[in-house]
Amino acid sequence: MIFDLPFKKERPTNLELAGKTAVVTGASRGIGLAIAETLAAEGARVVGAARTITDELRKAAVATVPVDLSSPDGATALVDTALEELGGIDILVNNVGGGDIDRLALGGFLDTTDGQWRHSLDINLFSAVWTTRAALPSLLDRRGAIVNISSINARLPAIGPIAYSEAKAALTAFGKRISEEFGPRGVRVNTVSPGVVGTGTWRGADLVGARVAAAQGVSHEELPAALPDRFGIASRRLTEPEEVAALVAFLVSGKASNIVGSDLVIDGGMLKTS
């Protein structure tokens, strides 16, 4: 039997984030929106960035920045705006990722164009590199925290579009690399690697989930219920965005002050090796 238990939003916890400032990328929906909402509920002042700003993000953030982070100019513009709005950055969450649905091929290596490789690397890896580089002076000054949202695809490269897993593996390595350099200087860097999360990516009618459903010969409505068995998820349900957000909020708080350079998996037991 497959269980699909919705995550219940709890009241804010005492993570001592009141008055902290945060920049969250890819914040208009899904995991990014849940992170922005959770940090705001904990008392942080959030600047949310996305190509398209949603009403939900406007409600959670003190300021929003419509920006394309697949270029270094976009990352610089975001951080400059955040510094103007916030006065400094305590928390950076590099969440933007995935890719445009019309540029993701579900075929094999020989079917994947250089354009898909470049697009996936730009949005899943270099967006974090560029944004981190721009934000680091303020993060160093405030002894802040960075969380990069990677994926268990970094450890399971046979699953998902070509170039996505490879880009996420590089992002995970990037987080470890800068944690070694900047951890001794007071900036904590960690990675969160979700498994299958119940966002619009899988539940939406026009995103990756719909294409996967078509490829597997099932209806889009049937796909979410089939995914736990399909991917061997031990909890027999999808992870919810709010659960990922709760983990991120803990990691950027003082409660996790000696967690540095870690890659924390949240996947309901899908990954079978350590």
- Alpha-carbon distance 166 to 273, whole Å? 19
pTM for this entry: 0.90
- Domain boundaries for CATH 3.40.50.720 within the chain: 21-195+240-265
pLDDT in tens, the chain (274 residues): 333 444 455 556 789 999 999 999 999 999 999 999 999 999 999 999 999 999 999 999 999 999 999 999 999 999 999 999 999 999 999 999 986 655 566 678 898 899 999 999 999 999 999 999 999 999 999 999 999 999 999 999 876 788 999 999 999 999 999 999 999 999 999 999 999 999 877 666 555 555 555 555 565 567 778 889 988 999 999 999 999 999 999 999 999 999 999 999 999 999 998 7
Mind telling me the catalytic residues? Answer: 164
Helix (H, G, I), strand (E, B) or coil at 263: strand
Q: What is the pLDDT of residue 200?
A: 76
Name the architecture of domain 21-195+240-265.
3-Layer(aba) Sandwich (3.40)
Cβ-contact 45, 212 below 8 angstroms: no
Token reading at 262: 């870690």
What DSSP state is assigned to residue 160? S
Element (H, E) at 49: strand 45-50
Distances (CA, A) of 194 to 22, 72, 111, 147, 154: 21, 26, 27, 13, 10
Cβ-contact 65, 32 below 8 angstroms: no
